[in-house]
Structure 1
């Protein structure tokens, strides 16, 4: 595989780095996450102006025709800056519309997304039972002129600030059957929708969402009522690639900060970086991050491959990045000592983000189980 960046990708990377360096300092981020709505509307407008909101969408839809590898480049920089804007949530919801929607649905949703005036989120996670995208208890009942949805969705990323929810719901079949799942466009302010938003430990926002006999028209359904699982599986793999790339950015930031700390912190009359055991720990951090980088790039480059190959590589990336993130995050905290877990130091925020990243959008199964299943 060719891991070299194209000219477009290099420009995208440099553009994102300038944004983070100029507008996303640590204290600026702390102020953003402490206030409502938990992200910066000004930064969101910048995302639209820079074209990032149109990056993953086809040119026919008004986007730039970007790939999963392009998204990974952007998310790695987002990881370095601990960016909290609802980019992933909106992209996933909008990709559901682009890949599964009708021309009318695309026309109604995508221009607003690309312009920054319409935010979406993917509501696929539920409480109780075994985790996974197949575990859908939310009911979709066919009624005259449309559909009626009832159920609860849990830990919906940026669910309280979204304008439209892309909801997985079951029209028939057992709770873990793939054939009965559909994806529905639900206006967030529709009658019967209740949202309870809250902050997560890594500085993001999520919501618990209740759907109480929400009435929708036939035009709310994306594709067929029984074909939503395959599309949902694709979207969760895109989310996993983005999360792995973001973890790479977090790990690199921790490595840089830890190396600098070892160079400057003195103990026993000498720089602590002179102690070989600490040098070895830093090398372990670097090796783990580089292994994670290789498998993440491989998964991103194969995001459009047939399902078994895509699923296998994404599952491998999820597993390797989770293990690497745990090692890098915990080692960084340990080498910084007690200050490494204080809110005043960015190390603690990177650690929390690395802890949560393997959990967000992990609906398509535990990575090792999924890797085995995809390997035949």
Structure 2
């Protein structure tokens, strides 16, 4: 083979190698591009995908101004005292004023309607809920102005034992004797309550059902709350007041009334010498008092979370627990989920009781 021919063959081979190298580079680039399109999250292009969600927006700062804490009863009652202790703690915790506003009337419905239906659902109007203006209100009224679905039950704070109080010089030596008298003379029993759906009304109805007395022949005297109710009994204007121990305690300590019995399975730590109704043969009394906080439907989630977490912390604070103990209330925290479950269960029970006793109006 001539030298010129060899040079031509070498030139052809060199050209082929260059072409092959270029083709391999091209094919590799295409392959990488295809794999990248399939496997690389779209966030590389600046758009979130389900595989890698965009980070959530941080919750707005809250609170940034004064909060109204609506108590739908008169000042001085159990709901009011617990709300004031709570407001005091959270005001210091958050560095913003929380002002307790009493809006009594309608068995707790007036204040509840204001907080849940009239005020803005922005987290700056809280409602001091309790058993009377929630489960009992719904059960006691055919068309309740405030319903469970109108609110977000945020946290339960405390509970109280139901106590039966009469005038200090009343003739009955114990609750069993008093119950026998009521069964024989139901028309002579007058009892106080904030309304037909109040805590006292259900406490009385359950007790009368347990002893077989005629609820319809007794007479309710409407009051604005415990601070109005117990003095009426002390003054002889009503025979019976059914409230928490804490609500009755001031008049009890003053010697104006006496407590014949308490409900529940065990004696109250606040009145260890007073027997339970069950000890005296009157069984099945389960009504108990509780209070907490709720907000109108539509209130932002971050508000509910802030209150729930802060109340849980508050319930562990010795100074706050002492405040509850001083007013004879037991701390009884429940988060929003537990609170809602308890409310639904109570509503069903109280509705059945109210229907049976023809209490629903």
Q: Normalised by the shorter chain, which TM-score bucket?
A: under 0.3
Greater gyration radius: 2
**TM-score normalised by length of structure 2:** 0.26
**TM-score normalised by length of structure 1:** 0.25
Q: Choose between structure 1 and 2: higher helix proportion.
A: 1
Higher RCO (CA 8 Å, separation ≥ 6 residues): 2
